[in-house]
Every structure is written in C-alpha cells, then in structure tokens.
Amino acid sequence: MRGGRLFARGAADDKGQILTLIAAIRAYLQTSGKLPVNVKLLIEGEEESGGAGIEGYVRDHADRLKADACLVLDSGMFAPGVPAITLGLRGIVGAEIEVSGAARDLHSGIYGGVAPNPFQALAEILTGLKDKNGRILVPGFYDRVAPPPAEEKAGWERLPFEEAAFLRDEIGAPALTGEPGYSPLERMWTRPTLEIHGMPGGFTGAGSKTVIPARAAAKVSMRLVADQRPAEIVDAFAGHVLAIAPKSVRVKVNKSHGAPPVVISPNAPAIAAAKRALTEAFGREAVFVRMGGSVPIVSEFAGRLGLPVVVTGWSLPDANAHSPDESLDLEHFHKGIRAVMRFFEQLAG
Amino acid sequence: MRGGRLFARGAADDKGQILTLIAAIRAYLQTSGKLPVNVKLLIEGEEESGGAGIEGYVRDHADRLKADACLVLDSGMFAPGVPAITLGLRGIVGAEIEVSGAARDLHSGIYGGVAPNPFQALAEILTGLKDKNGRILVPGFYDRVAPPPAEEKAGWERLPFEEAAFLRDEIGAPALTGEPGYSPLERMWTRPTLEIHGMPGGFTGAGSKTVIPARAAAKVSMRLVADQRPAEIVDAFAGHVLAIAPKSVRVKVNKSHGAPPVVISPNAPAIAAAKRALTEAFGREAVFVRMGGSVPIVSEFAGRLGLPVVVTGWSLPDANAHSPDESLDLEHFHKGIRAVMRFFEQLAG
C-alpha cells in the first residue's frame, strides 16, 4: 500500500475488485452466517491471454449458471468518488491485410519506378478505409449502428468530463481525432472505429536498407457498437479492401472471429438495485456510462445465458489497468465491499 | 564452375569483373612485357557496407588519382551477348518519417475514436507524397529533372526489351506500376522515385495486440535523376511531409546524406574508345544504357576528379547480383578480358 492505494504483484486492479466481492461474502458469513441471496462465483484468470476458457465454460455449463442477475466487476468509477454502471461495451473484430507485389525483394534502384511497392499499396488501401475525420468508408459499415437513447445521452452531458484535461492528462497528443458532431465520450462509447496496430514487412531495423519488399501487411481491428455484427462487418471490410486495392499487387485479408457489442437496458430490476446500492455505498449518485473496450464474456452472459448483467467496478482512469504499477484506491476498495453487500440486499428485498 | 558460369564464395559477379581487369593486365605483362597505357588500380571491398572508405580515399588522394579516363566495371550487359556502356546512374537520398501521437501506447477499446493513430497519420502522409500513378507530389520535386537527349532515348527504343517477359521473369507481380507516358526503361533510368522500405512501430508479431501505438515511422528513399540535388530534394520532401501531416500528431523527418545522380556524355573520347572495344570483343555493337541504381563513387570520379568515366561490365540481369548463388557467365568473362585489352589499345591509339 502506498498513498492510499492497493498495489499487488500482477493485476492489482482486477484482483482488488474480486477481493471486494469475496470480502462482502465473508462479512455476511462471519456476522449473520448466511447471504441475503444465493451467489455463484465464477472467477477466471485468462483475461490477458484471450479468455477462451471461460467462454467454453459458459457455453458448456449454462444449466449450472442459471441466475436472476449477473454482476461483473470489470469496469470502473467514472471519476474519483463517482460510481458508475456500464450499460454498453463495444465489440471487436480484427483482420490482417496481406499485400504481395514482386516475386522477391527487389533492388529499389534497379527496379524503382516499375515494381509495385506493397507499403505504397497498403497506404492507398488504408486511406481508402477511413476519411481524415475518422469516418469509415466500408460500404454498409454504419447500417446497423443504433444511436444511444436520448435519455442516456443526456445523462452523459452531465458527467464531470473536461475535454482539455482529458487530452492533456490521458492522451498527451497535440489534439484529439475523430468524427465531427460527436463528443469525445460519444466517439469512445457509441461510435465504431478502425485502428491500425502494426505494419510488418520490409526493413525496420536501425539505418537504411533500400529494398522494395515483396510483401507487407497491416494489422487492423474494428471496435463495434450495437447492433453491428462482427462476421458481417469483417466480410464487408474484406470486400472493400479487395475492391479498392491497386491492381499491381495481390491482396489477402485474414479475418478474425471477434466479439459482438453489448447494450444493457437500464430498466432491468438488477440495474436499478445496483444503482441504489452504489449510490448508497459511495454517497454520490451512481451514473450510467458505456465503455469503449470489449469484455467478450459479458455478451456471453447477456446473449447466451439471457441474464441481466450489471457491469461495474471501482477502478479509476489512472489505475494503470493492465500496465506496470496497477493500483486500486483503498477508499474505493472499502466502499466497493459495502456496495456489493447493499447490492445483494437490494436484490433480496 | 557450373553450366558455363563462374561461381565464387561471396560476390562472384563483382569479383569476376575485377578478375577480367587483372587478367587483361597480366596478359600484356606476360607477352609484350608492358601495358599500352599507364593503369592505376583502385579496388574496394566495402560496397555492401556503405563504401565510405573509398570516398574518403578519393577525396584525400585526388593527386595520385590523376588520369585521362576512368573505367568502372560495376554494371553489366544489357542482355546475353549485348555489351553495354552505362551513361547515367540515379542518385539517392533517404529519410525516416517519425510520427508520435499519444504520450504512451493506448488501449484501442478505451481510447479508439479520440486518440490519434500514428499509422493512420503515416498512411495519410504517404498517400500525400505520391499519386496512384507514381508521380511525386513534393513541390518542386521535378524542377531540375533533365529529360534524356532525343538520340539517347531513340537508342533505347531499339534495345531488345519485352515488357511482358520483363514483368513475368524479373518482377513476378500482377502488373508494373509507374508514370503513364514513360516506357519501363525510362521509368527505371530517367525518372525519380519515392519508395517505402519499412514501417517500424506498434505490434508486428504473430496474432493480434490491439494497441494504438504512441509512435510509428516510415523509412523511405528517393532515387534521383540529373540534375536533382540530394540536399535540396530531401529538404523539399521534409517540408512537404510537415505541411501535409495531420495536426493531431507530432512529426519529425530524419534526413540522410545521399548521393547525386550522374549523367555521362557519350561524346567523350574514352566512351568512343570503350564502345569500339566492346563491339569488337563481343562481336555485337555495344549499346548505351542507363542504370536505375546508384554507384556513389562514380559521381566522385566524375564530379570531384573531373574524369570521363566508362561504366561497363559483363554482368547479366539473372546473375543474382548481391544475392545467393551470384554468378558470371564464362563466355562473357573471357570476352570481357579481351574488351579491357582492346579498351587500353583504343585509348593508346
């Protein structure tokens, strides 16, 4: 513990949130000897390595996992002291664009001017996928994008969010990017994206080697929002890539499986119970937010098991989640224990 | 020796060409006991590692290198049996475009939609450098480009060159690229280029890691033709990159030193002597060609020493120059020895 924070080897943030759940259960068992509701605990440690195990478990044990509601402690506070319930998560689907030109790497002096360059082709393809405002140009890409309910969006406008401070403290770039007409929170929570993660191929060492590479690739992923479907989107993406690719190169798109987006109705009794519990435990009204990241298991709980899912947690934006020196605020840790206890009582009541 | 070819550990092609020069000198010394002209031999073995040594030597020993003409055996036959003299070499200048966005790598789920992506910025910059026909968009880039003399260009049209066979046998891509209105030989010999060699940054391993990288780069080089100047071109390049870069990222251009292009006049007596010598030794009229690659030492000989430079050689397009199994055709090797002897005699006569 340092400066009112809990640090632990590995994922202090994730482990700390699980500990609040276990501490809440233990508090009941040590005092009244029983829990206000029946609780089934499902703990996984594979988040950083794909998380395929828990998806298989949920698929194979739907009977054992029957419940009235599901609590997922994997999101966070909106800001210090401001508890939040996450009503939406973006989905994800990935692809690798492989481009090949000449049959072998070529001398750029001898052949430059006639030999296709796979990186040049990729630059043309990538700028044909997205305009300079971040709008994705894949035909049909936005067809199923459902705008957030007006009431939910109105709630976001009341959240304590300052764009200038966000740019300075969380991003650190000269400016934010993204589609005009949408606030930063809307762009992160309700708009799909297309990002480039790496471009393997050619020469990437120190110094120079002036080859025209035979092959190059671009690793991309798209974050999806309700009601986009990963398979449909990645197919449209691949079709568009092939349609706009220069004819001097061969192009192959390797598609990944992906995870669908999730939207949770604020009208479920479990959500109302969670909102009351959080508000009471933290002494400040819990807010409804969304999350730009993807938690594939939430769509398994919501979709496959048909459960109302309460996604919440006590993590802070500066917790360094999944990074070195990950931490959990101790005050939030203690209030989190109380919030879980109140949630059980609200569900029982 | 295999199939009429000389193979040697390392660079059979380069070594074989030097051997023809040494064999020619030895033949004179063993028969008439003296050479028809004075010969100064300058042999370097650093071509594959920058060749800075020989440039320094030439700079520091201009007096010792005084001569009437200079013979550089580092180019090749235009085709089997067709001897060639190279009258032009492209220059080169390189640069690395470094782009940085956020202060650290960011989670593409949480921040995708607002955080600038350096690869996206690079794709936009790269497509702003060159149009889809290969025309370079840097202002002033073509200002000093001198078209080849009509007579030289007319000579190229008579060369045995078939575009379809060239595409199939030497390139192996679906199609050639390049500026409309210029033949493939013109595009390789008389037009400047801009090539991307690698794009370091982000995640390039197997599988996926969906980070928005804080930094990415593009390694590029430009081949230059007379009378473009490397320093002027790379400055214009850097200025254009900064002018078209998206404002959400920081961009830095690291410029390299480069080498100027060379054009050699066909009217020098040494060129006429070489043409007669080659034509006689190979039994077929020697042709004038250019070379897309850069041999920086040729511009030192021509520019710093002010010598008429004869660039020729016996290498074939399929010699695998600078690659495994490099070879030199034995018939060309023997005729090359005779060509060097005739060249000395022509110069003396």
Query: How is chain B split into domains, by residue range?
Result: 5-89+261-348, 91-145+192-255
- Can you tell me the distance from the alpha carbon of B284 to that of B334, in angstroms, rounded to the nearest whole number? 15
**Which residues lie closer than 8 Å to A129 by C-beta, 6 or more apart?**
A136, A137, A138, A194, A220, A237, A240, A241, A244
Q: Indicate the residue of B112, B115, B188 with minimum beta-carbon distance to A110.
A: B188
Write out chain B residues lying below 8 Å of A103, CB-based.
171-173
Q: Which of A127-136, A308-317, B185-194, B310-319 has the lowest mean pLDDT?
A: B310-319
Predicted complex: ipTM over 0.85: yes
Q: Indicate the residue of A124, A177, A179 with minimum beta-carbon distance to B248.
A: A177
The pLDDT-based confidence of A1 (bands split at 50, 70, 90) is: very low
pLDDT tens figures, B185-204: 999 999 999 999 999 999 98
Q: What is the pLDDT of residue B136?
A: 98
Tell if the CB–CB gap between B208 and A219 is shorter than 8 Å: yes
Name the average pLDDT for chain B: 91
The distance from CA A323 to its chain's CA centroid, rounded to whole angstroms, is 15
For residue A327, pLDDT over 90 is answered with no
Best A195, A298, A316 member to test B by mutation, with max B CBs in 10 Å, is A195
Q: What is the pLDDT of residue A2?
A: 46
- Can you tell me the distance from the alpha carbon of A238 to that of A255, in angstroms, rounded to the nearest whole number? 8
Write out chain B residues lying below 8 Å of A261, CB-based.
none
Architecture of domain B5-89+261-348: 3-Layer(aba) Sandwich (3.40)
CATH topology of domain A92-145+192-255: Alpha-Beta Plaits (3.30.70)
CA nearest B119 in A: which residue? A196
Q: Which of A327, A299, A297, A303 has the alpha carbon at shortest distance from A315?
A: A327
Tell if the CB–CB gap between A173 and B212 is shorter than 8 Å: no
pLDDT tens figures, B91-143: 999 999 999 999 999 999 999 999 999 999 999 999 999 998 899 999 999 99
Tell if the CB–CB gap between A291 and B115 is shorter than 8 Å: no
- Can you tell me the distance from the alpha carbon of A45 to that of A43, in angstroms, rounded to the nearest whole number? 7
Q: Indicate the residue of B104, B191, B249 with minimum beta-carbon distance to A174.
A: B249
Is residue B281 within 8 Å of B335, Cβ to Cβ?
yes
Mean pLDDT of all residues in A215-220:
98
pLDDT tens figures, A61-82: 999 999 999 999 988 899 989 9
CA A4, A5, A6, A9 torsion: positive or negative? negative
Chain B closest CA to A344's CA: distance in Å?
29
Q: Is the pTM of this model over 0.80?
A: yes
Tell if the CB–CB gap between A109 and B209 is shorter than 8 Å: no
For residue B167, pLDDT over 90 is answered with yes
Q: Which residue has the tokens 């023997």?
A: B334
The DSSP annotation for B148-187 comes to: PPHHHHHHHHTS---HHHHIIIII-SSS--S-TTS-HHHH
Write out chain B residues lying below 8 Å of A195, CB-based.
108, 112, 117, 120, 210, 212
Chain A closest CA to B13's CA: distance in Å?
16
Best B96, B170, B195 member to test A by mutation, with max A CBs in 10 Å, is B195
Which of residues A172 and B74 earns the better pLDDT score?
A: A172
Q: Indicate the residue of B96, B132, B209 with minimum beta-carbon distance to A197.
A: B209
For residue B2, pLDDT over 70 is answered with no
Q: Indicate the residue of A107, A122, A203 with minimum beta-carbon distance to B293.
A: A107
Q: What is the pLDDT of residue A3?
A: 55
Which of residues B45 and B149 earns the better pLDDT score?
A: B149
Tell if the CB–CB gap between A102 and B173 is shorter than 8 Å: yes
Tell if the CB–CB gap between A108 and B322 is shorter than 8 Å: no
For residue B225, pLDDT over 70 is answered with yes
In chain A, pLDDT over 90 holds for what percent of residues?
A: 77
CA nearest B322 in A: which residue? A107
For residue A19, pLDDT over 80 is answered with yes
Side-chain-facing half-sphere of B16: CA atoms under 13 Å: 29
Tokens at B127, concatenated:
């497509």
Write out chain A residues lying below 8 Å of B106, CB-based.
171
Tell if the CB–CB gap between B108 and A294 is shorter than 8 Å: no
Write out chain A residues lying below 8 Å of B209, CB-based.
197-198
Q: Indicate the residue of A113, A173, A187 with minimum beta-carbon distance to B178.
A: A113
Enter the CATH code of domain B91-145+192-255: 3.30.70.360
User: What's the Rg (C-alpha) of chain A?
Assistant: 23
Tell if the CB–CB gap between A113 and B171 is shorter than 8 Å: no
Best B49, B114, B223, B299 member to test A by mutation, with max A CBs in 10 Å, is B114
* Pairs of residues, one from chain A and one from chain B, whose beta carbons lie less than 8 Å apart: 264
Tell if the CB–CB gap between B175 and A250 is shorter than 8 Å: no
Q: Indicate the residue of B120, B126, B212 with minimum beta-carbon distance to A130.
A: B120
Write out chain B residues lying below 8 Å of A204, CB-based.
198-200, 204, 219
- Can you tell me the distance from the alpha carbon of B137 to that of A114, in angstroms, rounded to the nearest whole number? 18
Mean pLDDT of all residues in A241-260:
96
pLDDT tens figures, B234-266: 999 999 999 999 999 999 999 998 999 999 999
- Can you tell me the distance from the alpha carbon of B196 to that of B220, in angstroms, rounded to the nearest whole number? 4
Q: What is the pLDDT of residue B5?
A: 66
Tokens at B171, concatenated:
């390139």
CA nearest B295 in A: which residue? A109
Q: Indicate the residue of B90, B96, B173 with minimum beta-carbon distance to A249.
A: B173
Q: Is B348 helix (H, G, I), strand (E, B) or coil?
A: helix
Best A75, A93, A106, A108 member to test B by mutation, with max B CBs in 10 Å, is A108
Q: Which of A248-252, B21-25, B133-137, B208-212 has the lowest mean pLDDT?
A: B208-212
